[in-house]
Chain A
């Protein structure tokens, strides 16, 4: 009776009874008037939430330690130039994806121009280090400032817009940044900036040093973004994503909260830009085009919006898959495209979706028979 082609929910439980139109399923859980871009999922009544939720595993300190250890160990396993290069690229992409996840996954703001912040970070670091001779490490505070400024400039007037209008505005912003970098002399025009220094000489091969540095920074970023998603601010993001009006009625200043998400995303993007600039040694506008923004967004959605482990997996897939298909030439993106469709059909919520859950500590300790509450 159950149609095997129907998407299943991640917990492996069955969907509601088969229904005659694909749309019936879709609509049940959606409120048409208030279309949050993050959308909502399957009829989730059937979803089971075990106490071992993925996001809890990932936020446990042991998991974090495991990631860092694994990451740091990689060069001992394979220190080939190619391995390190694509591993570093993938890690930078992970950082971008968890940053965008704050904006899109947590807060539900559709951002199609995220590469703008990546560019701002890369160019700020590149410019200060090449033209002005700063050590790369010293550029980081400047990058954070620039990313925040960028976030303010574009976010301030536009965060009130509804999702698709926000999408086009961010897309436009991304293009503006890229084209401006392409047209200005100080940014090196179409060739961009080159000869960007690395973090310094630590007695190791420079690509190994860069890899290690990236691994540490990205691990910290992943943990930070995962933890950010859980506290007061993280909850507020989700409230805003779910229902802005209801959030307002709870005293949540939705505009400020969106802003916080946007600026947080900007900082992540900017820092990823620094890593990218160092890793590439040369940066130029084509690295920050719309396709990049789209790919980062795809990493977030493919992995599972709002789910840190999912987004990490998504980023690894989106970053490494085309690299693995490198030999396929023009078939490369054909295969990539088809794979994307196939994956999404089988896992519509993403590879490792977010399941709303409570930590074990949140279970009620002792039921109060006679509630006594002081107002």
Chain B
């Protein structure tokens, strides 16, 4: 299996705050990889570093065989590496439909965008109901669906989701997890950050545990689910 993403010994600091120290991880082609960790462990920072929003002091990031450590965020998106950020970041005064269209900003072919938008509406019918409503007026859960849907328009080869189930009703959590599985089986690799470790390890093939900016544990989902530390901290016996 080839790796679509390789993060190698990355250090990131915000001013004096050292957020990441020597973080390395890989995502293989077609894999779902989960990233676990406490609040402030550096999960979001890791993903932001990959997507080019944050520059590392040390280390390299390679995607699809190319070094993207210094690449601009938009060129990274163009390569099919999509980051669904924490907190949804919906464009609150664009309509649901426009939000989706913007997800396809890097795609020049309008008919392709349209067909993907249709697919998203099929998958998430609640969005179709609200297509003309402004993004900012959606409920928290609806916004989360929109954020995921928006990322799907770009046709991601690797999608990185930062806490996609935050604030979702149990049913929808299950739905989102299914959606992730669906995206994955359609061929995209997934890097998933989740507080809901139980749900995450259910869809993931492998996982990493971050603690205070360092990778402290890694293994297959099954291994992690059995690890006493993980059980204690993230699964709750």
Contact = CB atoms under 8 A, between A and B. Distances in A.
Interface in B7-56: 12-17, 52-56
A19 interface: yes
A17 B14 CA distance: 6
B72 A45 contact: no
A11 to B, nearest CB: 9
Interface in B76-100: 92
A24 B53 contact: yes
Contacts of A20: 52-53, 55, 72-73
Contacts of A45: 14-15, 17
Nearest to B76: A20
Contacts of B12: 17
A14 B52 contact: no
Contacts of B72: 20-21
B57 interface: yes
Contacts of A43: 14
B72 to A, nearest CB: 5
Nearest to B72: A20
Interface in A29-58: 32-33, 43, 45-48
Nearest to A11: B15
Nearest to A2: B57
Nearest to A44: B15
A13 interface: yes
B136 interface: yes
Contact of B54 (A13, A19, A48): A19
Chain B interface size band reads 10 to 19
Contacts of A24: 53, 73
Given A43-B14, A45-B17, A16 B92 contact: no
Contact of A19 (B13, B17, B53, B136): B53
Chain A interface size band reads 10 to 19
Contact of B15 (A1, A14, A21, A33): A14
A35 to B, nearest CB: 12
A43 B16 CA distance: 12
A18 B69 CA distance: 12
Contacts of A15: 15
Nearest to B45: A17
A264 B150 CA distance: 48
B46 to A, nearest CB: 13
B73 to A, nearest CB: 6
A45 B54 CA distance: 15
B15 to A, nearest CB: 2
A46 B16 CA distance: 6
A46 B15 CA distance: 5
A19 B72 CA distance: 9
Q: Most B CB atoms within 10 A — which of A14, A17, A48?
A: A17
A24 B55 CA distance: 11
Contacts of A21: 72-73
Nearest to B56: A17
Contacts of B136: 33
Interface in B149-165: none
A17 B17 contact: no
A187 to B, nearest CB: 45
A20 B77 CA distance: 14
Contacts of A14: 15-16
B97 to A, nearest CB: 19
B17 A46 contact: yes
Interface of B: 12-17, 52-57, 72-73, 92, 136
Counting from the closest, the 5 A-B pairs by CB-CB distance are: A46-B15, A17-B55, A16-B14, A20-B72, A18-B55
20 contacts: A14-B16, A16-B15, A16-B54, A17-B14, A17-B57, A19-B53, A20-B72, A21-B72, A24-B53, A24-B73, A33-B92, A33-B136, A43-B14, A45-B15, A45-B17, A46-B14, A46-B15, A46-B16, A46-B17, A47-B15
